[in-house]
Amino acid sequence: MWSITTSLVSGEFIVLEGADGVGKTTQTALLSWWMNARGIEHVVAREPGGTPLGEAVRELILGKMDLQIPPEPELLLILASRAAFVSEVVKPALADGKVVLADRFALSTLAYQGYGRGLPLDDVRDGLRIATGGLEPDLYILLDLPVEESLARQASSGIQPDRIEREGDGFLRLVRQGYLALGDSESGVRVLNGSGPPEAVQDKVRELLIEVFPETFGDSAL
Ligand code: TMP
């Protein structure tokens, strides 16, 4: 008598990243559409969010305009959302062999709470380790755009800015510089130019996925 107690099957964990206004959410939606067309089983989620706790945190830190949230509590709230996201969404989906496609993950916390809010990066990393249990994405796709272009896209979207977007262009500049520094220093991060029509950016995103994960996204996987 024997039983299998662990599964060796694991899907890919892919994260789209970038400062507000780079077009990440549009690219995530286009990618999900492409994966559906290719029959690739996947889970799409955004952060903060993705779980009931995460959505409550999202409402608190993005929706409550009159609430003062200093940087440390903001970090801790985001880490609470991250911990729930990892245990309730990411790990079960990967264990099922599904692709996880996330709109933001830990790189956002380093860029926004570290570089943007000025919290020590080592402290942010310590918190992330607790929240994620050390789980890292297989690939971060970091979309980059000059701040002026990001601001113009945000303005033309007609969507009311959230609490963090209201920090203005100085904050957005710090975040973008942080992302670019992380793009140089962190492993598993590929930077793509987010300028141009969404379809052209999407082509570059798909080419990158085919290059990095040919067995999942290449034509031979069809
Ligand atoms: P978005 O879903 O429209 O990108 O908005 C999420 C906002 O939350 C965005 O301004 C970035 C911010 N954020 C952080 O500050 N830290 C984080 O770790 C994450 C995931 C998001």
- Per-residue pLDDT of 115-132, as tens digits, reads 999 999 999 999 999 999
28 Cβ closer than 6 Å to some ligand 1 atom? no
pLDDT means per 10 residues, the chain with 222 residues, are: 43 96 96 96 95 97 94 98 98 97 98 98 98 97 96 90 92 98 97 97 98 91 70
Ligand 1 centroid to residue 104 C-alpha, Å: 7
* Index of the ligand 1 atom closest to the CA of residue 48: 20
181 Cβ closer than 6 Å to some ligand 1 atom? no
Ligand 1 centroid to residue 217 C-alpha, Å: 28
**Can you tell me the distance from the alpha carbon of 95 to that of 90, in angstroms, rounded to the nearest whole number?**
9
What domains sit in the chain, N to C, each tagged with a CATH number? 13-213 (3.40.50.300)
* pLDDT at 79 (0 to 100): 98
The helix/strand/coil state of 192 is: strand
Q: List alpha helices for 24-168, DSSP H.
A: 24-37, 52-58, 71-85, 91-95, 106-109, 121-132, 147-157
Residue 23, token pair as written in the block? 């077009």
What is the Cβ-side half-sphere exposure of residue 27, based on CA atoms within 13 angstroms?
32
47 Cβ closer than 6 Å to some ligand 1 atom? yes
CB of 94 closer than 8 Å to CB of 72: no
48 Cβ closer than 6 Å to some ligand 1 atom? yes
* Index of the ligand 1 atom closest to the CA of residue 109: 18
Question: Residue 195: what residue type?
Answer: S
